[in-house]
Amino acid sequence: MTSGRYRSLLIEGGGTGYLKSAGQELKRLGWREGELSQRPKNDPAKLALAARLRQETTLALPWIATRLKMGTWKSLHAKLPWRRTA
């Protein structure tokens, strides 16, 4: 179950940027939105999409993690590229 604050984002359509960016990316990958749950949570393409959404939109990590079927927002945060050090 999604917590109240983030649930309202899902219901109110806070994902306008998501619809454009993610829709284009899913089309480029040849995926349908239903396939997101079938792909691994750490799929490189899903991680790249999550990082792009976070950089290009104001979407919160919990929203991105839920929409892209990537587990909890905390696990997504730990996997995103900017967390890696050289």
Tell me which amino acid residue 41 is. K
Cβ partners under 8 Å of residue 52, min gap 6: 21, 25
Runs of H (alpha helix) within the chain = 4-11, 16-29, 44-56, 61-67, 73-79
Q: What is the pLDDT of residues 28-70, one digit of tens each?
A: 889 888 899 999 999 999 998 888 888 888 888 998 999 899 9
pTM above 0.75, yes or no: no
Residue 65 region by backbone torsions, left for phi larger than 0, else alpha for psi between -120 and 50, else beta: alpha
Q: Give the Cα separation of 45 and 32 in Å (integer).
A: 13
